[in-house]
Amino acid sequence: MPRDGSEASGARDPTVNAVRRPVSAPERPLRPSRPLMRPLAVAAVLGAATGYLAAVDPNRPGHYPGCPFRALFGVYCPGCGGLRAVHDLTHGDVPAALSSNLLVTLAIPVVVVLWVRWFRRRARPGTDRRVTHPTGTRLAGTHFTGTGPTAPGTSSSSTKTLLTGDAKGRLRAGVRPWGPVAVVLGLILFGVLRNIPGWEFLAP
């Protein structure tokens, strides 16, 4: 005989003693965290600075501060004449830009190409980009193919997720370890050559 009503109802209803399985949350794809915000912000800043240089001539004194390196040491630094070079390029005077600063004039097309590659990599699906997990966790360098990435711990036959990047969550897409070293050495070499007799064509 049952002791109380609960045991009696449990005996009558077999579902009371059934094993209850936890209900798993439905799979949700990872959301891109504004992948184009940074490229567009960089383009806006550089575009505004270029527009100001185009409107305000650096050859006229009083608009821009002088070079502190030249004021202290009396020699040209690698950036001397860079503002004039950008101003000349905005007005289509390539020879004048090359005469003002050869390095800056040649570096501008490289910067534009790198920015375009960066923009395309962030804009196209299926390429490296930062994504945000539904829980709010940011994942760096997620490369995904198929229908889209899924949350860690879930399975999908049509989705393949591969996480890349270092422990700090920074991407190294297309960056070679010798790249920054080559840039620094190139700046030093250019700064030295433009102050040596016989290389006056590199001086602004």
* pLDDT value, residue 102: 95
* pLDDT value, residue 188: 94
Parts of the chain with a pLDDT under 70: 1-33, 125-176
| Alpha-carbon separation of residue 175 from 28, 29, 204 (angstroms) | 32, 28, 31
Supply the pTM of this predicted model.
Answer: 0.59
The per-residue pLDDT for range 162-175, each reduced to its tens digit, is 444 443 444 444 55
User: How far does the chain reach from its first CA to its final CA, in angstroms?
Assistant: 106
In the chain, the amino acid numbered 162 is: L
- DSSP labels, 58-86: TTSTTSSPPPHHHHHHSS--TTTTHHHHH
- State the Cα–Cα distance between residues 86 and 80, nearest whole angstrom: 12
